[in-house]
Amino acid sequence: MKLKFDYKKVYAPYINGEYLETDDQKTIDSINPYNNEVIAKVRLASPANIQTALESAVEAQKTWGVTTAKEREAILLKAADIAERRRPELAKALIDEGGNVFGKAMYEVDYIVSTFRIAAGQTRQIRGETMPAEEPNRISFTYRMPLGVVVGIGPFNAPLLLNSKKLAPAIAAGNSFILKPSPYTPIIALLFAEIFHEAGLPKGVLSVLPTADEDLGDTLFSDPRTNMITFTGSAKVGNKLQALAGKFQKRFVPELGGKSPLVILKDADLDYAVRSAAFGIFFNQSQVCMANSRIIVEDPIYDDFIEAFVKHVKTIKVGDPSKEDTAVGPLISKDAIKTIESHIEDAVKKGAKLHVGGHVKDQMWNPSVLSEVTPDMKVFDDETFAPLVSVYRAKDYEDALAMANDTYYGLSSGIITNDLQKAFDFSLRIEAGSVHINDNSFDDDPNAPFGGFKGSGHGKENGQYSIEDMTQLKWVTVQLGERPLPF
């Protein structure tokens, strides 16, 4: 990609329609995870900045919440057009700041364009309903109303895609929105401010608050002016936030990661199963919550699958994410390297077999394959979030299904088979929020409900499903004439 992204020397929080610089802000470096070069300086939101953002969000929502559907639709459609026009720049930012490979970056930009347009369409679909009344001469109906102030806490791994599916429906529903992005990808988040500022979104409706202080994020829960928190991140952080949500009576929609299974039955096409399984785990360096980090293969084809899979994994290109043929780029941080090292070392020490993979340099890691993994190993339960996959042998279909369900998580799943009876049975019995037949577990569609079961969280994102969470239902009755009263 030849485009030179024109990074600002210093980025600042976007609050009440402007990039706010104050003396109490700390500054951090935004680092390219591939070459560890400093991209730009970023000012972090201070406690006082957060209070300003909350005040402006509350005031702006009073007006924004009563705008017409066509006004909100127009701004979202314009934002989609701006994002589409700036596609190369947005993709370059994902590559430089997030370490995304070229193909993933382009996919993510296209996704947010669709997300904005779908949200625009949803502005005209926010409807109540009429219902039969138990009393005579009464009309009974409902309204869907905005919640007020919605807070989004976003991750680093898909900072455009995952933040857009929080931001766009919140705005479409008439809420104001405060985005607290990952400290690894603050510049990418601030690009939302540029897009919606140009699109004409009234000031105060959107704030973007970079911060590296988790305690500041917690204040967004405790403040009575916030009405909902939507979060994507680790189960550890999500469980802490869930407790805060209960304490402060906040509506909370968490998506907390996964340990997603891909089941491959004995009748599967081996070549397709190998390629699908590899893509489903190693896309975006495996920094994907729905990656199929557990591959469960039926016994008759297990040995052939392992041999073919390892051979294929060795051909996956690792390197510079800006190169269009690179499949696996850098991990987001040195801590991610420590995690995968720890998981592999622990597994091998306890008897697992490492077929391929290992540290390259800096934050680069070759795709790695383990087999003979047992429940006493860290990798059995813990999300590695790095290019490591475990392959398991199942005696038969029922054994494979039981193994697939043997996890704390329940985000996504996949099954590859030509036996539709088993495929549909799997779709009903797997404990996961998404099931993909004849495909891996990696899939997301801005039209479809996305969210998990069990430890992967609750609630759904995308389209009308987000709108339902980001509005509140009000019941209204109209008495025709005088209501009969007992006294």
Q: Which amino acid is at 134?
A: E
Distance CA 409, CA 54 (A): 34
Number of Cβ within a 10 Å radius of residue 344: 24
Catalytic residue among 73, 97, 108, 289, which? 289
Query: With contact defined as beta carbons under 8 Å apart, do 366 and 355 qualify?
Result: no
Verify whether residue 307 is a known catalytic residue.
Answer: no
Which residue's structure tokens are 């400290």?
A: 183
Q: Which residues is 141 bridged to in the sheet?
A: 130, 476
User: Which residue is catalytic, options 73, 97, 108, 255?
Assistant: 255
What DSSP string runs through 315-336?
A: T--BS-TTSTT--B---S-HHH
Q: How far is CA 92 from the centre of its chain?
A: 20
Q: In angstroms, rounded to a whole number, what is the distance separating the alpha carbons of residues 261 and 130?
A: 43
Three-state SS at 116 = helix
Alpha-carbon separation of residue 97 from 33, 36, 37, 40, 317 (angstroms): 7, 10, 10, 10, 20
Cα–Cα distance measured from residue 54 to residue 183, given in angstroms and rounded to the nearest whole number: 20
DSSP E strand stretches across 22-91: 27-31, 38-43
Between vectors from CA 159 to CA 153 and to CA 160, what angle results, nearest 5°? 115
How many residues does this entry show for the chain?
487
Distance set, CA 302 to CA 146, 197, 371, 375, 406 (Å): 52, 54, 11, 20, 19
- Judge whether 289 counts as a catalytic residue: yes
**Which DSSP symbol is given to 450?**
B
Q: Per-residue DSSP letters for 370-428?
A: EES--TTSHHHHS---SSEEEEEEESSHHHHHHHHH-SS--S--EEE-S-HHHHHHHHH
Q: List the structure tokens of 260.
A: 């997603």
Catalytically annotated residues: 255, 289
